[in-house]
Amino acid sequence: MPPLEAWGWSPVWEERFAAFAGDGRQPGRVLREDRRQMLVAVAAGDCEAHVAGRLIHTATAREAWPAVGDWVALARAEQGRGARIEAVLPRTSRFVRRAVADGNRTEEQVLAANVDTIFLVAGLNEDFNPRRLERYLTAAWDSGARPVVLLNKADLCHDIEAAIDAISAAAVGVPIHSLSAATGAGLEALAPYLGRGQTVVFLGSSGVGKSTLINRLLGEARQAVREIRAYDGRGRHTTTAREMLALPEGGLVIDTPGLRELELWDDGEGVDHVFADIAALAEECRFRDCQHGSEPGCAVLAAVAAGELDPRRLESFHKLQREQAMLAIRKEQRARLGYGTTKYSMKRLRRYRR
């Protein structure tokens, strides 16, 4: 199979690339991002690439920069400097988070692009946390890809059914699979998501077993792993850079460093998807603008009082709503301050060339 087809190239992408094909450019897919250096798959194989100065100059924000999974237009650079990434093709999906840059200023960071499925990995050990998963699911629904929850370390869990029930309440309508990277049990359930040309990204906090799972799927110990800490069940980063890998059966996986925290960036409908049960209850509230705090006739508070809704879930809902409201304010302030203008891009270009 030609290399580009092995990385998901299709007639659809060929049609989209046509608008960027001038001046001898060729298509490629970003396989690895390590700070400012990229590894890109092209028709002739893999090559090192850097972002062209023109793209840095015209990029209106950090989200316009290439990320792992992106299809890009490249030109060969002079003097053996590899290739230049001159354009990023429009994305079908992107998983993003709020990142801090230049002091306290915030902007979007794309962790993975053009993925079909997001595997949200949680550990069935001391680090089990449904509230954290609600945050991941909110970002996943806003990404444009479909979320799937993987409950890893089933071999360490004494009551898997109770854990699945707890996650089911947080992940309404989302497929949930329990498995063990250590023993290989349950991995066969992932086959439908890993067909030829399909791209998935593994996301989760450190120590949940993402790299171990990928090693199982690869059939070799390619990704480095570390033991988790005994006293709290957490781990340290083993993956240091985002990277796309091809599976023997033709699927594509993106491994990512463990996330210590995930701050939302999109203020779309992800919260509504994750908390669809609360939205359904809210239809019965006395007031249409009920905030489910202390209003009379609140059906959501009534469900909490009756034991039908976990109060921690309602607290999580309020927290994510407040975070999205603050995010909207920050975005408006950012736009007023002119971040993403040519002047800002030129400052970034000077830093990039140092």
The residue extents of the domains of the chain are 3-90, 109-255, 270-337
Tell me how far apart the alpha carbons of residues 165 and 245 are, in angstroms, rounded to a whole number.
32
Tell me how far apart the alpha carbons of residues 289 and 157 are, in angstroms, rounded to a whole number.
42
Using an 8 Å Cβ cutoff, are 125 and 75 in contact?
A: no
How is residue 147 written in tokens? 């979320």
E strand or H helix at 109? strand 106-113
CATH for the stretch 270-337: 1.10.40.50
Fold of 3-90: OB fold (Dihydrolipoamide Acetyltransferase, E2P) (2.40.50)
**How far is residue 290 CA from its own chain's centroid?**
32
Mention every residue, 6+ apart, whose C-beta is less than 8 A from residue 179.
150, 151, 152, 154, 185, 186, 187, 189, 190, 213
Q: For tokens 């994510």, name the residue.
A: 320
3-state SS class at 86? strand
Q: Is the pTM of this model over 0.75?
A: yes
User: Strand 37-42 and strand 26-34: pairing?
Assistant: antiparallel
Mention every residue, 6+ apart, whose C-beta is less than 8 A from residue 174.
137, 147, 148, 149
Q: Is the dihedral of CA 176, 181, 187, 191 positive or negative?
A: positive
Q: Is the dihedral of CA 65, 69, 72, 75 positive or negative?
A: positive
Residue 81's pLDDT is what? 61
Supply the Cα-derived Rg of the chain in whole angstroms.
Answer: 22
Residue 233's pLDDT is what? 44
DSSP letters along 227-275, please? PPPTTTS-------SEEEEE-TTS-EEEE-PPPS-------SSHHHHHT
Residue 257's pLDDT is what? 79
**How far is residue 130 CA from its own chain's centroid?**
18
Residue 231's pLDDT is what? 40
Beta bridge partners of 149: 120, 176
Residue 214's pLDDT is what? 93
Count Cα atoms within 13 angstroms, Cβ side, for 247: 24
CATH for the stretch 109-255: 3.40.50.300
Average pLDDT along the chain, 354 residues, taken 10 residues at a time: 85 94 90 84 90 71 80 75 86 82 64 95 81 88 93 89 88 92 93 94 87 89 52 49 90 82 64 89 94 94 95 92 76 63 40 38
Residue 148's pLDDT is what? 96
